[in-house]
Amino acid sequence: MEPLRQDDPREAGPYRLEGRLGGGGMGRVFLGRSRGGRRVAVKLIRPEFAEDPGFRRRFALEAEAARRVGGFYTAQVVGADPDADPPWLVTAYIPGPSLQQAVAAHGPLPAETVAVLGAGLAEGLTAIHACDLVHRDLKPSNVILAADGPRVIDFGISRALDATSHTHAVVGTPGFMSPEQARGRAVGPASDVFSLACVLAYAATGRGPFGAGPGEAIVYRIVHDEPDLAHLPGALADLVRRCLAKDPAGRPGLSDVLDELSGAAQATPEWLPPPVTTMVTERLVQTPTSPPPPEAPGAAAAA
């Protein structure tokens, strides 16, 4: 988390912005606070997307659908304003590192942790699909490791980028997108199952199942090559391999994934290894200190 910069906004609708959480292709994410004092994550959409009226319409529809998503393993969408300048989306703030941050800092996760992770993500995706949404961009940076289990974030708005003149590419992240998504074809829940398998392989080994390198090379391997699962534990490797079937119809459903992982996934306060638990604790107590907002024009002269 970083302090606000001098040129950062200080509010979005009724939410006060307190620090920077990160950013991505669609916009910047800030730590905010509601009028009642609840911490939230506020995503401000990039201006080039906001200029497209079609994007705003799709964003409004997707945000409304995302607000209906419940369950224990998603970050609840609590507000959005597609007509604001810039448009914004607000979710519950989940204290904890992303899966990407945790693995980068401390290496692959233990098998027991990966089982809890997989079961939680499968349950979260089930809740998302129940609202007729497909995540379309499940990846390690969109998974938060909280004290009581994982959370899926950034769902429900990726489809708003479709047909936006500024994208010129399929929505998704090389290394974690399905073959049908990489080909620019229609995607359904089975696409998220493929992405889930890629995320679990990353969690268990520290690398994606289709290797590293330029995005185009990774996408080619996703479409044409078999995954490298050599370093995955046997039972997990078998499940991940089936979830990575090139044909969406050949992949197991999320219910099947849950059935296979739920026995090993007994979520407890100690589900994370100690170094990652420390990362969670640090985020619980972090309070960024921001610089004062820039003075209004003429204020210095009047002083």
Positions at the binding site for ATP:
43
Separation CA 274–CA 298 (nearest Å): 53
Is 81 an active-site residue? no
Of the candidates 37, 25, 29, which has an alpha carbon nearest to the alpha carbon of residue 8? 29
Whether the CB-CB separation of 111 and 124 falls below 8 Å is answered with: no
Separation CA 53–CA 68 (nearest Å): 24
- Would you say the C-alpha torsion 266, 267, 269, 273 has a positive or negative sign? positive
φ/ψ of 116, rounded to 5, equals: -65, -45
Cβ atoms within 10 A of the Cβ of 164, count? 17
Enter the tokens of residue 134: 């497909």
Whether the CB-CB separation of 3 and 287 falls below 8 Å is answered with: no
The one catalytic residue among 8, 52, 137, 192: 137
Active-site residue set: 137
